[in-house]
Structure 1
């Protein structure tokens, strides 16, 4: 047989022996035809074939050997296969190889060899002894398959597997794979630690029954079967769980069906995330909200809050009842245009928007407000901007208290106070007048002269009538004239004297 470069001949020990035993020409032709067919099969074989003599000297290589290694038949014939050595195979492996084939057995293994151009490559090798009719080994035949690409793929897959394993084991969530019988196929390190095991490999073949209380295990496996039987994912937002140490916790679980390459469900993949802190925080938040709502609902005033678009986000029960709603939840999503005072909605919203845009408080201002029954009432209102955790304004909180009764009471008190002040002032004035009269009387009693009388009267009369103008007249001794003894005030327009007949009272006697 020939290739493009060299003439190669397979060993013909069998043919020679046939000739030596005097085979007929027809038998020889038949054997030669068989050899030709075998030679064609060897030459066209997709694996490398190397034939050596009993001493390991190469007598034949097929074209695939040349294609893989770069060595031609001429390069290697008469040489030892050690020309392919890369130094990566130990002498012990070679010794084992020779011991096996010299004992008449076939050796199987892998070599990391070197091509003619120096590139390294992997190949899997089977070496079998060839014996003659006498049972004597005459040659060795090696079939060699280039594993370089497959090895590269395997190494890549192994590298990716290790990388994936490293990623999976460093994820804090529990990751697991279960088969159709709910047995563990794969568990990451987080899952293993929850189950009290340090090596995830020790979990293979076990199940939830081996680690969890019966009730929990039964529930978990029921969920597994549901996923696999319905071929649908399952999400459990909050599922009770317990660690190997007995710590109770809550987990969020996602389970999805796992398929083979034909689409058949062969198990499931699951992820469990510890949400205990979130669960406790949500429970605490719920309790706090309940407490806050209870407080807000029992505050004797209207309370409500809106977002930046002035859409209602919530209110207390008093406000809900005030606007004709059965519960605070019904206010969510409404605006002032949806409430009984829609004709004043624009005014109310402008006031709210000013608080939001200025990010300033508006406290204790009193105003007349339109009520649902179309009446007006005095209310005291507080408006406070609402902020998120970053301090950004996200809405406005409003409290409103009906102070109509208080305002009426204040008005009544104000009127009563005015009356009281007037009464006290009048009483003080009367007391002062009484004191002045008493003082004047005391002085008059001790006076003997008319002039003293006039002086005393002149001093006290203006004090007794400070807000009026007047005069005190005395009929003179001759009774011919009435003369003013004292005059007080600024507006008096009267004569200082006049005839007795000019006085109407004196004319009447």
Structure 2
């Protein structure tokens, strides 16, 4: 009895040692694989069992796969098959334990019929009894443990079995704890990854509470808006509003979010510095484990550059739409089925069709009998296949419902493919030009050309047309007559004005060069000798020797783009006028010489008269004055009447002397010879002031030594005549006379007030 009791005590101590070792391992080890392996080791080492293993049920195959073991295994686990099916391999202790969820004991492996599939392998390794029990479940994976002993009936003691089964509870607790720890670690890892992603993402992330106040913003938000984290927290996102999004749109957004749905849209917001930007926003509700919305998260992408591109593309689209619709050529676009995609206004106008009606029909150019006959259908098909551009003239008419124009139109077609980015022809464009209008325009142009050519050829003025390089393009009949040159000898790259020796010699070529270079017209007169005019090779154009005076007018002609097209030169023969002008000049010179001669004669006569007045009249007046003085001195009392008469005679004599001097100087101012021009003018001004009361100021500096007597006299006479005119007509009280020399000329200015 004492021996049995000691054995029982030892057995219980071993089991408690196993439990204690397993508990220590659970506390020490946080990794599942290591813990499972340690548990198997503790069971065999502390419990004295031969083998302990832990396996998992694979749901797909139903097989139980040993994962961890310790003890005397010797290849046993790799040589056997265990399952939880109804086959013999599933009826063993482990299979039944998993199916029942309870522990199963095999008291003797040698005699237990359900252990037959594994008996030989077990007995070969000394396994005589075993206990199997489920230990824990991990999602859809169920784990079981099996312990093998070296003697039969080891596991018949209920207390030992209960202690062993308590191992299962400890292992389940440990696995649950590890699972929670692993889930927590995974969650923490995911949160760190998520936080890193949010913190480093290029998209703005904003989290608000249910009232819409900001609780979190990521760095991308701060970089985009300019608001720091501290500035944004507690604020409402309305600090970004610009008024672009309407109240109705915000109401619809909150209505969707309040029902737990996600909202997506575009905002045009404003940065802290006032700059506008566009962003694509997706706002989602954040729910807790109970499905209750606690926050809102907005993930927003800056799409400003995309919006700029979209707006640019829209502008370009509208621009090309307008080009298409407002084109002066009729345009029609066909798809691969030959149906009309689009037509422009000019096409509707040319073919008198209703565009909407035309597009709504099932019309196909491939089925149009007229287009089949004239080859347009085939042409369009070829362009789809060969990607070529074709330009040709043809008569076309479209048998389109609602078309009012019944006659065919003779047109010029430009047909070309429209490809997508992959180079696939998506459509074919047909541009139609009505040649009737072109022909009419050409006829009008030809008529105008003929009209102006007749004006040119029949003009009474000789005319010459040059190309931009100076080659004579055309001359009229009057020029041929004037210079005696035939058109065929000068037109068509035969005569260049800049190579013509007479044009160079006369200066005409240099004058025309400015017209060509500066593109401005000019007028001038030139003397040319027709016999010296040469072509581009230097050969004389005519044997007609004739010097001609010409009045020349040249002007440039430009095309629509402002480029020089031609230079037109008009010649007018002014030889007779020039001869008349030279005769007139000679006549004027003769008249001037005659006038000078008559003036000299007149001055000489004045000089002689002045001399006589000075010599004879002066002497007589002097004698008369002396006699009057003598008589006055010898009269006595009672002769007062005679004395008065003598005094009066003396006064009259003085006045006559004064007037004779004035007359003398007027006829010929001797002071010019004696004192010079400036002194004479000063004397004359003073004398004139005494007689008339008009104040005269004389100013000027002149080198009189360079003036001859005639020039001095002419200047004096000019002043004298001007003062006479002032007295007669001006009623002036003041006259200024200025005389000076400048640039080799004598300048005389006389001004009155």
TM-score (normalizing by structure 2): 0.33
TM-score (normalizing by structure 1): 0.48
Larger RCO (CA under 8 A, 6+ residues apart):
1
Greater C-alpha Rg: 2
More helix by share: 2
